[in-house]
Amino acid sequence: MNAGNIDTLPRERFPRHIAIIMDGNGRWAAERRRNRLFGHRHGINAVREAVRECRRLNISHLTLYAFSMENWKRPPTEVAGLWRLLKSYVQTELKELRDNGVRLNVIGRVELIPKDVRDAIDYTLRETAACRDMVLTIALSYGSRDEILTAVRDLARRVKAESLDADAIDEQTIDRALWTADMPDPDLLIRTSGEFRISNFLLWQLAYTEIHVTPTLWPDFSKKDLHAAILDFAGRERRFGLTGEQIKKGMKDEG
């Protein structure tokens, strides 16, 4: 299902949680013979539109991969510019987030982020804490292997302290040890710019996520692209290891 009207799509066909790898800012800027920060600045407009449209569509969770652990290796001027943009975003968007019931959430090594940026993030986190209509999670200084390693170390310490039985560790135990403990796994992952990688993003959580790749560079990503991804998702049969026949039988039994 890659064509149709998003507003006539049955509610049960929508993803509950959308995650996006926002890629292509640098290439977008290079095509215009501008520096990479020019692309990042225009990428903020795409973030704003995606958040607004997900809220309008009653998507309960939107997670954006904004800055990876690997991004620290980029030129210092670009990294500093990215943090300035993020600080400006959380400050200028606060009123709209709060007015629309959107709670900000952050995952990653936030202790590595410049203090003035952390302070701005912390303020917006506090000011939107009571919002209940949608959760906007921004992955900052984030790496999924680091997240999993941190969880494993925490569980190992609990086993050593005899507060956790090693044989009792199951998938739910690991889920609760991750930075995403209070979030459902993504139903739909969108990657822009045509790259077929997940780039160390939510490796555990994406186990059964549907993946949609678009050639659109992130600054050009519009609600039309978001709609196309959701409609693509809606046309897929999510089997979770079962056969198509089992899924259909289960649907009949429920009916």
Q: Confidence band (pLDDT; 50, 70, 90) for 238?
A: confident
The pair of three-digit structure tokens given for residue 177, joined into one six-digit string: 């040890």
The tens digit of pLDDT for each residue in 118-146 reads 999 999 999 999 999 999 999 999 999 99
Beta bridge partners of 135: 61, 103
Confirm whether 71 is a catalytic residue: yes
Q: Residue ranges per domain, the chain?
A: 13-151+185-254
The tens digit of pLDDT for each residue in 13-68 reads 999 999 999 999 999 999 999 999 999 999 999 999 999 999 999 999 999 999 99
Percent of the chain at pLDDT > 90 equals: 91
> In the prediction, which pLDDT does 2 show?
44
Percent of the chain at pLDDT > 70 equals: 92
Distance between CA atoms of residues 221 and 69, nearest Å: 24
Active-site residue, from 23, 187, 225, 232: 23
Contact present, 179 and 147 (Cβ < 8 Å): yes
Confirm whether 133 is a catalytic residue: no
In terms of C-beta density within 10 A (0-12 exposed, 13-18 middle, 19 or more buried), how is residue 199 classed?
middle
- Give the CATH architecture of domain 13-151+185-254: 3-Layer(aba) Sandwich (3.40)
Active-site residue, from 45, 71, 100, 200: 71
